[in-house]
Structure 1
Amino acid sequence: MANDAVLNPRPAAVRPSGPPWHTLRSPWLVAALALLALGLVWSATGTTPRAFTYLWNWLPALLRGLGVNIQISVLAVALGTAVGLVVGALSLSPVHAVRVVVRSYVQVFRNAPILVLIYFTTYVFPFEVHLVSWTFPFPDWVKVVLGLALPTSANVAEIFRGAIQSIPSAQWEAAQSLAFRRSQIFRLVVLPQCVRRMLPPWMNLYASITMSTSLASLVGVHDVVDTAQIASNTVARTDFTILVYFTLLALFFAYCYPIARATRALEKRHERH
């Protein structure tokens, strides 16, 4: 046996050639690449130090505008998640007609362009709501929240349905053998596992909705994109315009990239378990 081991040694594991890709996911390397890109933009467009001075003066307004985008995304995802959980549960209804209606809802709003949905909610809802003798305004940012909540609810419904169906049937049977009611099985056995399985795709969905909030400026919402446009028109310098929109890209990246990193970490943790 020893001679066989010597004559036929176990082949060594072949490692893929090329750069260590795990280092390319390092936040420090990403920051270095961002600075390099900024340097290239500076040199290619002839950006002057004065443009950076203007940017510094407009940066607080840009950050306030980004706060508006984040608020819209949080509200849209919260509302869409609440509706999506209900829709996802109804998609598993034993009633065929309910499943057909829910499936149609999911297919329509999952495949509709987000910009079309934002315009739809902007013009289908009134600009003012009249209640008895009072009149309440219906702000544009609320309409954008509703427009983003529609695709969010459809995607969450699919995520929830997939998470429930991924639970092995043996767990349902084991819980039933312990005399658990269906509601108890769902609450104590299925839902805790669904939350862990839903979290990574839900976080990806949140990052996607956050980036889609940049469309809010098209319907009159004073967000970070609208602020950047006002700054560009006010300063009226080509180098500053390029710099301010590059800063816009950097702000969205700085907010969404940690979410992507956390999502990947959760996926790896789920794979180990």
Structure 2
Amino acid sequence: MSENSEAPFRPMAVLLEPRPRPIGLPDVGLPKLTMTHCYWLAVAALLVAGVAHAQAPAAPAQEALSAAPATPLSVIIKWLPFLLKGFVFNIVISLMAMALGTVSGVLLGLGQISQNALIRRTSWFVTQFFRNSPWLVLLFFAMFMIPFEFHVFGLRIPLPDWFKAIIGFALPVMANVAELLRGAIRSLPSGQWEAAESLAFSRTKTIWGIILPQCVKRMLPPWMNLYSLITMATVLASIVGVGEMLTLTAQVHAAEGGRPELFAPLYGFAMVCFFLYCYPISKLTQRLERRFNVKT
């Protein structure tokens, strides 16, 4: 081989100085930590810390601060039986007030067509007085003018607030039913009275056997409208402390901390309940008006 020929390349071993080893940490052959290992170690540390924090007893104040506020829907679902119980009480008050007012209103309406001048004028005055008085004023009148209890033959008879509220709502019902009955009787043809008189019917038999049955068709649609109005007006009982739906709604709002964002959903739920109850009555009233379509 000539001198000018190139010698083959031979790699030369390079001796590197060993890195200084920390004192007190001998090399035991542990695997090297990568970024993936560091990530999973951090996640495990966070999980362990979270479990430990959840199991540790928290102070009441800290627990209240850490708990997220309930949504309006969850609050309504939570208090749904409580609120519906108040709504049922509204319905009971309206039904009893309507029953009491209808019976007394029929008697008052018949008094307006009485042949006795004193009874007729007194019935007219009572009808006009309660018919043209604000319902809230009549409710306050019943709540504060009627005593809380009666004593009959040594027996104590208490009158709870809800019963006095029924009387307060029955007063305008009585006046309006009396006016409805008077108008229905006046709308009947005079031939009905003349035919009954020709058959020798007494006035009492004529009224109860001939006149009143014909008045039912004329009175039923406006009577049902009046019931819807009374049902919606029962929320006024909350002003005098009766535990109906609006009163319970205010209690729920206070129990949830008086949060402003709960005001509209809670009272909106009460509005929806009354709408779902009164709207079918309104539609039934319209159907009866078309069916009975009495021509005078």
Q: Post-superposition shift, 1:171?
A: 2.0
Cα offset for 1:132? Answer: 4.2
TM-superposed CA distance for 1:57, in Å, is 0.8
Distance of 2:237 and 2:248 partners within structure 1 = 12
The number of equivalent residue pairs is: 226
Q: How does 1:76-95 map to 2 (within 5 A)?
A: 76-95=97-116
Q: Is the counterpart of residue 161 in structure 1 residue 182 in structure 2?
A: yes
Contact persistence 2:218–2:294 (CA under 8 A): no
Alignment of 1:99-138 (within 5 A): 99-138=120-159
Give unpaired runs (5+ residues) of structure 1.
1-47
| Partners of 1:106 and 1:155 within 8 A in 2 | yes
Give, in angstroms, the shift of residue 170 of structure 1. Answer: 1.3
2:248 matches 1:227: yes
Deviations 1:12-43 (A, max 9, x none): xxxxxxxxxxxxxxxxxxxxxxxxxxxxxxxx
Listed as ranges, the gaps of 5+ residues in structure 2 are 1-68
TM-score (norm 1): 0.79
Amino acid corresponding to residue 114 of structure 1 in structure 2: W
Bigger Cα displacement from structure 2, 133-142 vs 101-110? 133-142
Segment drifting more, 86-95 vs 126-135: 126-135
**The structure with more helix, counted as a fraction of residues:** 1
The alignment partner of 1:214 has SS state of: helix
**3-state SS, counterpart of residue 112 of structure 1:** coil
Contact 2:109 2:182 in 1 (8 A): yes
- TM-score norm. by structure 2 comes to 0.73
Letter in 2 for 1:63: L
Correspondence 1:74 to 2:98? no
Following superposition, which runs of at least 4 residues in structure 1 exceed 6 angstroms of deviation? none
What is aligned with 1:262? Answer: 284
Indicate the residue corresponding to 1:38 in structure 2. none
1:51 offset after TM fit, Å? 1.3
Given that residues 159 and 198 in structure 1 are in contact (C-alpha distance below 8 angstroms), is that contact kept between their aligned partners in structure 2? Answer: yes
What corresponds to 1:141 in structure 2?
Answer: 162
Structure showing greater relative contact order (alpha-carbon pairs closer than 8 Å, 6 or more residues apart)? 1
Moved more, 149-158 or 184-193: 184-193
Q: Matched residue of 1:129: which SS?
A: strand
1:165-224: per-residue Cα shift (whole Å, max 9, x none)?
A: 111011222233334333332233212111111111111111111111101111111110
Deviations 1:31-85, CA, capped at 9 Å, x for gaps: xxxxxxxxxxxxxxxxx97110011111111111011111111111111111111
Distance in 2 (alpha carbons) for counterparts of 1:90 and 1:136: 31
Q: Which amino acid in 1 is paired with 2:281?
A: I
CA distance in 2, matches of 1:186, 1:94: 13
Give runs of aligned pairs for residues 190-209 of structure 1, distance below 5 A: 190-209=211-230
Counterpart code for 2:230: I
Aligned-partner residue type, residue 136 of structure 1: I
Change (3 A) 1:179 1:137: closer
Q: Considering only CA atoms, is the larger Rg found in Structure 1 or Structure 2? A: 2
Identity over the aligned pairs, expressed in percent? 45
SS of the residue corresponding to residue 157 of structure 2 reads: strand
In structure 1, distance between residues paired with 2:210 and 2:294: 20
Shift in Å, 1:131? 3.4
8 Å CA contact 1:73, 1:206 repeated in 2: yes
1:176 maps to what in 2?
A: 197
Preserved CA contact (<8 Å) 2:130 2:172: yes
CA distance in 1: counterparts of 2:207 and 2:200, whole angstroms = 13
CA distance in 2 between partners of 1:247 and 1:214 (Å): 14
Change (3 A) 1:231 1:94: same
- 2:24 maps to which residue? none
Find the counterpart in structure 1 of residue 267 from structure 2: 245
